[in-house]
Amino acid sequence: MNWKIVEFDQVTSTQDIARQLARSGEEEGTVVLARHQTSGRGRQGRAWYSPRDAGIWATCLLKPDLGAEHLLLLPILISVSIASTVEEATGRKTSIKWPNDVYMGTRKLAGVLCEAETISERGTSFVLAGFGVNLITPQGGFPEEIADLATSVESETGERVDADRLLRSILTALAERYEKLLRGERESIVNEALSRDMLKGSFVKLRVGERIYEGRSEGIGRSGGLLLVDNEGKESEFVSGEVIEFNY
């Protein structure tokens, strides 16, 4: 994978720019990076707070030749790549909250948003693999609605890391695991996620559409879904949904 980083000062969302580029035929491996996003997006329609120079706000254009059932592992491998790289850079342990939130301690440090677009009849033609990593906590702190949830590398470690160097290390880690996924080597990706899984053994409430499921998490399944065991001892693997409560 030859990454090509295209840098912007300010964008609405790096996902928007990457989508325009993809639609006009840009190659796989292009990375849209911005110093500031005015409408950064998170999963489940949430906003992603992306102040100027406070973190890495990036979207990688990927064109994985894989069926939809394998794509669930893509956001997971991205969060694993971020988690292991940040851990190496800071010496501090990170964990993953299914499906793809990266935590340091009890707060979220990074998030991943993958948006797939299908143009051809053959299936997915490109994936916009976006990630945000909070490097510093802005003056005055995070906005009230995320103040208790979010953290940054600086807040956790007292140190500032070099954003450019960290991004390049994340991209190297990501390329290595992405190539594994393309070769069908799913097990090592799932195992890496499992070794950092912060939900395993916890009691979890999962929202899937309008429904709420409850159970004890048994970790992450082979296809990357969340394994929950309900009160009757029945195990199910959920391939989508939002963990709305868990005991940590």
Phi-psi region of 57 (alpha: psi -120 to 50; beta: other; left: phi over 0): beta
* 3-state secondary structure (DSSP) of residue 58: strand
Write the interaction track for ligand BTN spanning residues 10-49; mark x where CB under 6 A is met and - where it is not: ---xxx---------------------x--xxxx--x-x-
The nearest distance, CB 158 to ligand BTN, in angstroms, is 24
> Smallest distance, Å, CB 39 to ligand BTN?
7
For the bound state, the minimum distance from the C-beta of residue 42 to ligand BTN, rounded and expressed in Å, comes to 3
**Helix and strand totals (H; E) in the chain:** 6, 12
Encoded one letter per residue, x for contact with ligand BTN by CB under 6 A and - for no contact, window 103-122 reads --------xxx---------
The distance from CA 62 to its chain's CA centroid, rounded to whole angstroms, is: 14
Q: Closer to ligand BTN at the Cβ: 46 or 205?
A: 46
Residues 6+ apart with CB under 8 A from 204: 214, 215, 216, 217, 226, 228, 243, 245, 246
Q: State the Cα–Cα distance between residues 83 and 19, nearest whole angstrom.
A: 26
- For ligand BTN (CB under 6 A), the number of binding residues is 21
- Enumerate residues 54-83 that contact ligand BTN by CB under 6 A: 57-59
Draw the binding track, 120-149, toward ligand BTN (x: CB under 6 A; -: no contact). Answer: ----------xxx-----------------
Q: Which is nearer to ligand BTN, 40 or 215 (CB)?
A: 40
State how far Cα 7 lies from the chain centre.
Answer: 20
Torsion angle in degrees (nearest 10) through CA of 162, 99, 28, 186: 110
Residues forming contacts to ligand BTN in the complex (CB under 6 A) are: 13-15, 37, 40-43, 46, 48, 50, 57-59, 101, 111-113, 130-132
